[in-house]
């Protein structure tokens, strides 16, 4: 039986820490300028060359390569100026307790430099990487710097949430549930009456479980990701696991996209490798859909064909086949359970959706499939 465990981390959000880091950084640059030196920043290198899979922690991590960026350097000056502009902006945001989206941060800092025709930023593609650089430099999430991510996803279950002055139970909001905001750093959980978190890919399936009163009957907190999990949702899952000791179970479609959603929640993504320690949850487990489910529950009639060309056909592999082969090479799928599922998918050339379980009956997923698999811990690692 899944039960809440002892927490491994403490609620750690501290805006003062970010302010201190920014101040230290600003002072260092100022000091170098007043001493007549050429100020520089060491920015951790981005890209695959500086990313590795840490076998011990089971996380995608950032390496220790850095590159130096000087103020007085033809190739660096623009980025240096941009880094200072955004740093100053973030200092204002955090001091004032305000948040801005990536796009607002871009618009707010775009202007023409007086006495020139030069714009500080031409495009959001110039400001986003600067914010990422600051995340890498300071080892903080951009959410901690009050830059919010796109929001998507909602939760439902017997958990009391404290967000600012408001406190409410996320199982008393009708069928709607609570919309997860872009930033969840400041959120606290004064009361938790669930045994585990069930992360669900599709809104339709989450709504099915809510209608069947699954969260209440099985003491679960349902988290609907509505596709790929947003940063806010991934951070929420991480916090619920590490700070509240809740086991995390993921339930997606049985297709390469669903397995990728699981993989991102579990291990982080290559783009955000430097943030895995705050966003990923390597202890997450996977309940389904699996290829074995098709046979076990007699769902052959409601599978769909994989898209693309199989590896043994001319022009292949493409589409789903290509994605599956890529996933077979992920370090965290190097175990017999996952290799078996991925091989079966290639062999049978099919995929299976969560909602296909409705073929048995609407209640089947809530009354049999999930309680049985989770109760018996028939979970993939």
Question: What is the Cα–Cα distance from 225 to 95, expressed in whole angstroms?
Answer: 31
Binding site feature residues for Mg(2+): 201, 253
Q: Which of 250, 154, 150 shows the shortest CA–CA distance to 198?
A: 250
Residue from 60, 85, 90, 100 touching its own copies (CB under 8 A): that is 100
192 counts as binding its own copies under rule CB under 8 A: no
Residue from 50, 183, 264, 281 touching its own copies (CB under 8 A): that is 183
Residue from 114, 164, 190, 315 touching its own copies (CB under 8 A): that is 164
Please give the radius of gyration of the chain, using alpha carbons only, rounded to the nearest integer: 23
Closer residue to its own copies in complex, CB, 72/168: 168
Cis peptide before 317 (omega within 30 of 0): yes
CB of 180 to its own copies, least distance (A): 6
DSSP-based three-state secondary structure for 196: strand
Q: Which of 182, 173, 178, 188 shows the shortest CA–CA distance to 152?
A: 182
Q: Which of 253, 262, 269, 258 shows the shortest CA–CA distance to 284?
A: 262
Query: With contact defined as beta carbons under 8 Å apart, do 355 and 258 qualify?
Result: no
358 counts as binding its own copies under rule CB under 8 A: yes
- Count other Cβ atoms within 10 Å, centred on residue 295: 12
Q: Which stretch binds its own copies (CB under 8 A): 66-74, 80-88, 104-112, 272-280?
A: 104-112
Question: What is the Cα–Cα distance from 119 to 45, expressed in whole angstroms?
Answer: 26
91 counts as binding its own copies under rule CB under 8 A: no
Closer residue to its own copies in complex, CB, 143/327: 143
Q: Which stretch binds its own copies (CB under 8 A): 20-28, 135-143, 170-178, 373-381?
A: 170-178
Residue from 85, 198, 356, 380 touching its own copies (CB under 8 A): that is 356
260 counts as binding its own copies under rule CB under 8 A: no
For 235, residues 6+ apart whose C-beta sits below 8 A from its C-beta are 141, 143, 184, 185, 278, 279
Catalytic residue check, 107: yes
110 counts as binding its own copies under rule CB under 8 A: yes
Binding site for its own copies (CB under 8 A): 98-101, 103-105, 107-108, 110-112, 119, 148, 150-152, 154, 161-164, 166, 168, 172-183, 187, 203-204, 207-208, 211, 226, 301-302, 353, 355-359, 361-362
């Amino acid at each position: 039986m899944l039960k809440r465990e002892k927490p491994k981390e403490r609620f750690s959000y501290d805006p003062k820490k970010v302010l201190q880091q920014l101040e230290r950084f600003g002072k260092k640059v100022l000091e170098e300028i007043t001493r007549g030196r050429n100020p520089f920043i060491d920015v951790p290198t981005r890209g695959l060359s500086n990313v590795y899979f840490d076998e011990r922690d089971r996380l995608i991590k950032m390496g220790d390569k850095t590159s130096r960026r000087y103020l007085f350097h033809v190739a660096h000056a623009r980025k240096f100026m941009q880094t200072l502009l955004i740093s100053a902006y973030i200092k204002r945001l955090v001091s004032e307790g305000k948040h801005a989206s990536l796009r607002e941060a871009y618009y707010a800092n775009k202007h023409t430099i007086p006495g020139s025709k030069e714009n500080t930023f031409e495009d959001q593609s110039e400001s986003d990487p600067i914010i990422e650089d600051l995340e890498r430099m300071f080892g903080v999430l951009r959410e901690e710097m009050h830059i919010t991510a796109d929001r998507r996803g909602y939760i439902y279950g017997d958990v009391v949430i404290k967000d600012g002055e408001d406190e409410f139970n996320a199982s008393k909001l009708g069928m709607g549930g609570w919309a997860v905001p872009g930033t969840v750093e400041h959120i606290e959980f004064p009361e938790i009456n669930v045994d585990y978190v069930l992360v669900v890919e599709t809104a339709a399936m989450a709504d099915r479980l809510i209608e069947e009163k699954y969260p209440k009957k099985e003491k679960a907190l349902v988290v609907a990701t509505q596709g790929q999990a947003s940063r806010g949702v991934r951070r929420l899952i991480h916090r619920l696991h590490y700070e509240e000791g809740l086991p995390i179970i993921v339930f997606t479609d049985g297709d390469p996209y669903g397995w990728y959603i699981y993989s991102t929640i579990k291990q982080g993504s290559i783009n955000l490798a430097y943030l895995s320690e705050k966003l990923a949850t390597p202890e997450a487990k996977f309940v389904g859909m699996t290829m074995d489910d098709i046979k076990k529950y007699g769902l052959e009639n409601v599978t769909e064909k994989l898209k693309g060309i199989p590896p043994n056909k001319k022009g292949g592999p493409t589409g789903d086949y290509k994605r599956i082969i890529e996933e077979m090479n992920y370090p965290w799928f190097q175990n017999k359970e996952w290799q078996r599922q991925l091989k079966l998918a290639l062999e049978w050339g099919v995929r299976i959706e969560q909602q296909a379980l409705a073929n048995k009956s609407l209640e089947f997923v809530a009354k049999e499939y999930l309680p049985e698999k989770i109760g018996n811990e028939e979970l993939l690692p």
